[in-house]
Amino acid sequence: MVKKTVVNTLKNALKLGRVSHAYIFAGSRGIGKTTISRILTKALNCEKGISENPCNVCENCIEIDKGSFPDMYEIDAASNRGIDDIRNIKDGINYAPIKGRYKVYIIDEAHMLTREAFNALLKTLEEPPPHSVFILATTELHKIPDTIRSRCQVFMFKPPSKEDIKNYLEYILKQENVEYEEEALELIATYSEGGVRDAASILDQAVTYGSGKVDLASTQELLGIIPKTLIENFLKHLKEKDIKNLVLLIEKLDKEGYDLHIFWKQILENLHSALTNLAIGEKNEIFEENDIKDLIYIQNIFNKAFFEARNYFEPKHIYTLAVLKLKYIKNLKSIEELLKSKAFISTQTQQQPAKQEENTQEQKGFDIQSAILKIGKDAGGIVSAALKKGKIEEREDSFVIFLEETVYPLVEQKLETIQKYFPKPIKLEKVSKKDIPVKKTKKRDESVDKVLDLFQGKIMSYKQQGG
Ligand SMILES: [Zn+2]
């Protein structure tokens, strides 16, 4: 199944008696680096002899499995980063193994070692005693110094694909003669995100939960997977841009105790397959070709929300915000963009034909470019620069300026000064950098059109008056 190449290479090395003195096992968490480290330790120290298939029943094998084998040293570099631990290794390494043939040093999260520790380690690796094997496990290979790397045999542990995991689960069930539905295994494979260990443990639960059979319905229930109809409803609301019902649905799922992360992931998967379908000219049940642009946009926002929500105490907030963004973001445009287009003029001037664009200031009414220029003179260039970084939205009775946290205080300090140059009250809103939407609005030739584009709410009245 998984890690075939790594295992095969190690097995061959054992067979040929060409064990390296230092290995690097690189790859993401939970991918089997520790497991393989221990298997290798057993292979080297099994009482039945060095073998690619350790017996697993002798005292040495059992102790290695338990982590109590005296010649296996497991060092967690994340908590013991220091040179002392490496010095201890250096001091002890020349003594013969106590019980086994090899002393095996497994340094987990090896990239966390300090430079001094790496230097000390390097000295050891330069002249390793014959009975020692080092295994450096790391999730961040690039942080291991080249000098160390060049003395190790590097194995990359690639995450198993969904298919790999599914096949593996299938294999287990066949061995144990348990009935299953393929869809259930697919679901578990998706859910475990490339973690074989997770997949196996979910499978265990699924067997128990489904009283001996692994079927889709009970697996869904076990995993708290949201029923398909709810997913479809959500997607339909998305298609209709029915923000209210989207928010209500999130609320409902949360209240009923569903895991919103799982829900969101299912939504993302659906969006992704809709996009792929449509892009290659296939039909999708909910979305059409016209929706492709929207879908890309939605997926972008939803993807970010998914990663943000993982580290947030109340994922519901992030997900609701992501939905709300879909609505309000359309009214936003960057001030910088407006300055370039010279198009930020007040609603009253929207009624004027485009050619009067170049008329004087007075006729234009509010002009953000000159406003920012004046603000710059009055309050300092840094304030106008800060404003230019923001986004602005005109509302019925106010302007709302969205600013990054870093520049927010600069503008806030000068709020009164800035207000003088705006025809309506301004409100400031603090947003984190990633929340400032990057939206490219389509280019139109006429500046007035750009304004209309910006203030979508006003288009109707303009069209009525303008013909
Ligand atoms: Zn053994």
Partners of 400 in beta bridges: 393, 427
Query: Residue 239 to residues 19, 105, 151: CA-CA distances in angstroms?
Result: 59, 56, 56
User: What is the C-alpha separation between 332 and 391, in angstroms, rounded?
Assistant: 6
- Name the one residue in this structure whose structure tokens are 């209709």: 240
Q: Which residue has the tokens 């953000």?
A: 368
Ligand 1 center to 52 CA (angstroms): 11
Q: How far apart are CA 411 and CA 430, in angstroms?
A: 11
Q: Kindly tell me if the per-residue pLDDT of 289 is higher than 50.
A: yes
User: What is the Å distance from ligand 1's center to 42 Cα?
Assistant: 7
Question: Please, are residues 188 and 219 in contact by the beta-carbon 8 Å criterion?
Answer: yes
% of residues, the chain, pLDDT over 70: 82
- Please tell me the least confidently modeled range out of 31-35, 54-58, 103-107: 31-35
- Pair of tokens at residue 222: 């076990």
CA of 64 to the centre of ligand 1 (A): 9
pLDDT the model gives residue 435: 56
Phi-psi region of 17 (alpha: psi -120 to 50; beta: other; left: phi over 0): left
Given a cut of 80, whether residue 381 has pLDDT beyond it is no
- Residue range 109-138: mean pLDDT, rounded: 90
- What's the pLDDT tens digit per position in 41-65? 999 999 998 888 899 999 999 999 9
Q: Tell me the domains of the chain and their CATH numbers.
A: 4-157 (3.40.50.300), 162-223 (1.10.8.60), 231-327 (1.20.272), 332-466 (no CATH)
Summarised one tens digit per residue, pLDDT across range 321-360 is 999 888 765 545 556 656 665 444 433 334 444 444 443 4
Q: Which of 131-140, 167-176, 206-215 has the lowest mean pLDDT?
A: 206-215
User: Above 90 in pLDDT, residue 104?
Assistant: yes
Contact (Cβ atoms closer than 8 angstroms) between residue 411 and residue 383:
yes
Expressed in angstroms and rounded, the spacing between residue 39 Cα and the centre of ligand 1 is 10
CA 38 / ligand 1 centre spacing (Å): 12
Global pTM value: 0.46
Say how many residues make up the chain: 467
**pLDDT tens string 185-242:** 998 988 877 677 778 888 888 888 877 889 988 888 887 777 778 899 999 999 888 8
Least confident window among 32-36, 153-157, 320-324: 32-36
Rounded CA-CA distance 145/129 in Å is 22
Which residues line ion ligand 1, judged by CB < 5 Å? 46, 54-55, 58, 61
* Distance, CA of 380 to CA of 378 (rounded, Å): 6
